[in-house]
Structure 1
Amino acid sequence: MASDGRHLGRLPSGMGICCSIPDLLFLPELVFGGLVWILIACTYIDPANPQAYVMAVSLLCFICTFLWMIIFTCGCHNNRNSWATVDVLYHFLASVLYLSASVPLAMVTLDNSYFTNSTEFKTYRFNISSVVFSYLATLLYVIHTVFSAIRWKSF
């Protein structure tokens, strides 16, 4: 490792993604994003409801994060600065998308907090859980963006 800080800008590959701070967040992002996707899929999606948008965002981010993790694991990035830039941009975009999906989902969940039977109560619990996991996924993507930006600056 160089003492001038050049080692900070290296993009990990292989199992090295399990040892670096921003890339260690790939798995929790996949888990929480997958939970949002599954919980929304378990409820009835009304077309006037933003749950379809939430599902689209969570599915898109799940697939893109999985592919991004595979690229890093296989070492296809060749440790270039452009890949570090794309990493920051992708995680920033995912953060914005998740935030834009989490806020309306929370609003709809609050608006539908009344229930008359056990089926509606079950749906309400699924919606509460999806809101919590959606905000956790948003937080993870924001943290990943910040640490990726720090790594990008040190590249």
Structure 2
Amino acid sequence: MASTTSGDVLPSGSRIFTTVPDVFFIPEFVFGGLVWILVASSRVIPENPLGWVMFVSIFCFVGTTLWFFIFLCGANQSSIWPSLDVGFHFLAVVFFLSASVDLAYITYLKGVAFTAFPTAESLKLYRLDISAVVMSYVATLLYFLHTIFSAIRWKNS
């Protein structure tokens, strides 16, 4: 059976703004960047789980930026790129899901502490953490959808 992969399986240039999985690049930037900003603007206590959240959000933000520019410049025309696309976005889903769960748990613990000793500053930080949790799960959903549609495109290639 002959291979059906052709050189232009993936879109390049401005066509990435019109294809279904690649249209998720911009929302992934926005929501992943918001997670990064919101976690960085609150107190990073405890350091270990929130350090993982920061690593994941920065890693995925930089990775998505590089991936976006590779697609935009048209350097993705080899037959291995569809599988790399699925692999990168699957890794991002796994990373973001684990970071989201960690962030939600830490936010829950901060909420329990907030109810014991409520202050205006702790309320502000608690609201920032809740926003970060919501943005993190939205980013996870976006990366998941990108992975699913990339896998469909990879299977059809």
- TM-score between both structures, scaled by the size of structure 1: 0.91
Shift of residue 73, structure 1, vs aligned partner = 0.2
Determine if contact 1:12/1:72 at 8 Å carries over to the other structure. yes
112-121 vs 102-111, greater mean Cα deviation? 112-121
Shift of residue 6, structure 1, vs aligned partner = 7.9
- TM-score between both structures, scaled by the size of structure 2: 0.90
Shift of residue 107, structure 1, vs aligned partner = 0.8
Indicate the SS of the match to 1:81: coil
**Identical pairs, percent:** 51
Find 1:122's aligned residue among 124, 127, 147: 124
Question: What does 1:2-151 correspond to in 2, within 5 Å?
Answer: 10-78=9-77, 80-113=78-111, 114-115=113-114, 116-151=118-153
Q: What's the CA shift string for 1:70-97, capped at 9, x where partnerless? A: 000000112x220110000000000000
Determine if contact 2:27/2:142 at 8 Å carries over to the other structure. yes
Q: Which amino acid aligns with 2:14?
A: M
Query: Kindly tell me: are residues 23 and 154 of structure 1, through their superposed partners in 2, closer, same or farther at Cα, counting changes over 3 Å?
Result: same
Query: Kindly tell me: are residues 48 and 55 of structure 1, through their superposed partners in 2, closer, same or farther at Cα, counting changes over 3 Å?
Result: closer
Indicate the SS of the match to 1:145: helix
Determine if contact 1:81/1:152 at 8 Å carries over to the other structure. no
Unaligned runs of 5+ in 1: none
Match of 1:152 in 2: 154
Shift of residue 52, structure 1, vs aligned partner = 1.3
Q: Distance in 1 between matches of 2:46 and 2:127?
A: 20
